[in-house]
Amino acid sequence: MSDERLKKVLGEGRESRSAYDRAATESRELSDDDRVEMFRQQFIQAALPDLAKIPGYHTCWLTTTNPRDSIQARIRLGYEPIKPEEVPGWEYVSIKTGEWQGFVGVNEMLAFKLPMSLYKKYMQAVHFDAPNDEEARLADTNETFKEQAQRMGSRMDEGDGMSAMRESAKVRAPQEW
C-alpha cells in the first residue's frame, strides 16, 4: 500500500514546509492602547450592578466572607445595610433568606451605605493623614541617620526624593472627598 501524497525525500514533488509557512507581517505584541482597552472592558463585565446614589450617603458593596473585614465591624464603623425600598427598582436584588433577608445583596455581597460626612473623615484619615504621618516618620528617621553620621565624623547626603517629600509636605492640604 503506497500513498502518492506521502513522499519521503525532498524533491520528487515534495517541497520544504518552510515554503508554505507565512511570514508574520504584523506585530503580535499588545500596544499600550490595546492594554488600556482591555482594562476598560474588564469593568464592563461587572459581576455586581452599580449601586444607586442615595443623597447624603456613600454606597458600596461589602462581602460577608472576609473574617478580617467583617460586616459586624463595618456596622460598628457606621455602615448601614441598604433596604430595597431605599432604592426603587432594586427589589430583584434583595436577599430572600438567611441573616440578611430583606436587604440588597448579590450572592455573598451586601449593599451598604455610609453617611457622607463620616465617609469624608475616613477618606482623609487613610488617604491624607496616614501618608503624611508616614512621611513625617521617614523624615525623622532620615534626620536621625544624618545626626548619627555627623557624630561619627561622616556625612549623609539627602536624595531628591526626600527633599521633594519635605517640600510637598509644606504645601499639602486635605482634599475634598
Task: Report the alpha-carbon distance of residue 92 to residue 56 in Å, rounded.
Answer: 24
Q: What is the pLDDT of residue 93?
A: 84
Q: Which residues contact 112 (CB under 8 A, 6 or more apart)?
A: 59, 60, 61, 62, 74, 79, 80, 81, 82
Q: What is the pLDDT of residue 25?
A: 56
CB burial of residue 146 (10 Å; 0-12, 13-18, 19+): middle
Q: Is 11 helix (H, G, I), strand (E, B) or coil?
A: strand
pTM across the whole model: 0.60
pLDDT per residue, tens digit, the chain (177 aa), is 566 666 666 666 666 666 555 555 555 577 888 888 777 766 555 678 888 889 999 999 999 999 999 999 999 999 999 999 998 878 888 898 899 999 999 889 999 999 999 999 999 999 988 888 888 888 888 889 889 999 999 988 888 888 777 777 666 666 665
Q: HSE on the CB side for 161, CA within 13 Å?
A: 3
Q: Is the dihedral of CA 98, 103, 109, 113 positive or negative?
A: negative
Task: Report the alpha-carbon distance of residue 96 to residue 104 in Å, rounded.
Answer: 10
Q: What is the pLDDT of residue 91?
A: 80
Is residue 64 within 8 Å of 108, Cβ to Cβ? yes
CB atoms within 10 A of CB 122: 14
